[in-house]
Structure 1
Amino acid sequence: MVTTVVLATSACGSGDDTDAPSNSTTRTTVRIGLAYDIGGRGDKSFNDAAAAGLDRAKQELDVQTKDVEAQKAETEEEKYARLKLLCQAGYDAVIAVGFTYAGADPAAGPMARAAGECPDTRFAIVDDPSVTAANVANLVFADEQGSFLVGAAAALKSPAGHVGFVGGCAVDVIKRFQAGYEAGARAVRPDIEIDTHYLSTPAQGCSGFNAPAAGRSAAEAMYDRGADVVYHAAGSSGIGVFQAAKAKGRWAIGVDSDQHEVVPPNLREVIITSMVKRVDVAVFDFVKTVVENRFKPGVTTFDLKMDGVGYATSGGRVADVAPRLEQFKKQIIDGAITVPTRPAD
């Protein structure tokens, strides 16, 4: 089977290399390629955070960039081909946004294959620590720590003592969000009721990250059962969670970006906070290491101490509980609280 991948810039036009870059040894401008996860630029969440980091690097570091979209239900072969074509086109560094680029077998998946066949290209994979190679940097986050804080916020703002969690795909990285959220909620209220629902599985291609209708349905069911706050870690499906909160007159919590600032205005009123995951910082910092010839392979974890995760305050809806959240934050940074990375059985 022959797989064809077209290196087109994203619909929003952030890429500026319309033609493949020259491989001339005389060029000095660093060129960065970025491959999105499912949902792509415009998802108001994970991918948009990566896009913000790329855009900042283009502006501040004078690099040239190209960002390319993923397709629904694509195969690992197609993901590999996208990464391979970026390095073959002469990009100095290639960033893969999302754990799906690791593949089912990280030693032989899309990222490992592309990195092995392009040893002179520096790669980064966001949200996956499992791919190991001398030319691969793993940019990961303490998702559980940020989720602990918004879990505490949910419990503090929940009159019913009943909250929910909607995950985009039943994989380890999203289960870290669930684990932290549950731990934070129970740190405030040990008897709190927590509903959990995953929209997809790896066998379904993790399609739940781009299924707003499914997100809405899952959240509506939780609200109907009595939950008054629902947190999503579901990419663009989160819009459906916010729509459900609006329809039911309840609260929701966003993820990755400060979603109060990026969703349509009619949905802002339902978002009490967001778990902010600084994918933009990770992408920008990686590009900077490439530009400054400081590339370092292996895992870098962006945690609370590094300001890699946190919670948003836009809208002022957590102002009354912020002192308690800051207390929890300090305890986590100081090591007084260890946040679990796996949900309790």
Structure 2
Amino acid sequence: MKGRVLVLDQIDGRQAAALLVDGRLEELAIDPKDDVAIPGAIYRAVADRPVKGQGGIFVKLPEGSGFLRQISGVAPGQRLLVQVTGPTEPGKAVPVSIRLLFKSRFAIITPDAPGLNISRKIKDEDRRAELSAMAEAGMAGADDRLGLILRSGCLEAEDTAIAEDIAAMRGLAEAVLADSSGPPELLVDGPSAHDLAFRDWLDPAVDDADTDPDSFDRHGVIEALEALRTPQVMLEAGAHMMIEPTRALVSVDVNTGPDTSPAASLKANIATARDLPRQLRLRGLGGQVVVDFAPMPKRDRHILDQVLKAAFKTEGETNLAGWTTLGLYELTRKRDRLPLADLLPRDLP
């Protein structure tokens, strides 16, 4: 199926969302099994104790602890407003930040980052002028600490919807910022899978959406999830890559299959480089990633360097460290979601 389709369903009684582009799974979100801190959630916390050597401090949350890397000016016992920045790994504290974002489909309120900004993706000068006027009107009389970013979806959105989003996010931010006293407490829950999909993935101008029951099965999402359970990813001409997470790193091994020629190696390596960001994203894998590409001449490495750079360009916090002396390729990717293996039930519908 051509085009973009947003598919909303449930897995094991939990919300799940998928974005298909030309029939291929590109984005996936599934609510966690347990009552855990969801990225984007905002808490009132209490600073606990610094962690020597790690440049951070533990903070007390309603259930458990969070870890805050920014400690300048933070003293034990101090009340803080913090936002969850990523998934909680087993046995570790919840990663949090004091940099809060109140995000909706069209607007982002940025406390302690004042200014009115419009997404650079909106190039039309007339539309930018209209949005600038809406931003000024929506933030008139607001606290000087509050900033506003109007997102790229504002280009085709109705002015009324944009104004409503600005007012809603401003009101929420002002209410939360005024509620810093008291014991640790959840103030704003993180977005569910469906909320996240509508907020960050849906483009009403070009996307279709299927919210009917069994939509995952109807669009082939269940089949794609079953494929993501296995380490093997098939490539062209019998080649494949094996993606296997370990405690220390994610190992990726590229094999050409029956064809062992240099041309086959380069072709398989390029295919791996192009699909690797999507595979890591959908599988919920991050941290240190080590790729053992199929054997090829060193002179061809610059080709892979360019392909990898282009492939990971929009992948957020990724560091392409490059080649090791043993001929492996290293990169790091921020863990931005729970591993898919922890989210799926043993048996899919």
Q: Give the structure with the higher percent strand.
A: 2
Q: Give the structure with the higher percent helix.
A: 1
Q: Is the pair's TM-score, using the shorter chain for normalization, greater than 0.5?
A: no
Q: State the TM-score bracket (shorter-chain normalisation).
A: under 0.3
TM-score normalized with structure 2 length: 0.23
TM-score normalized with structure 1 length: 0.23
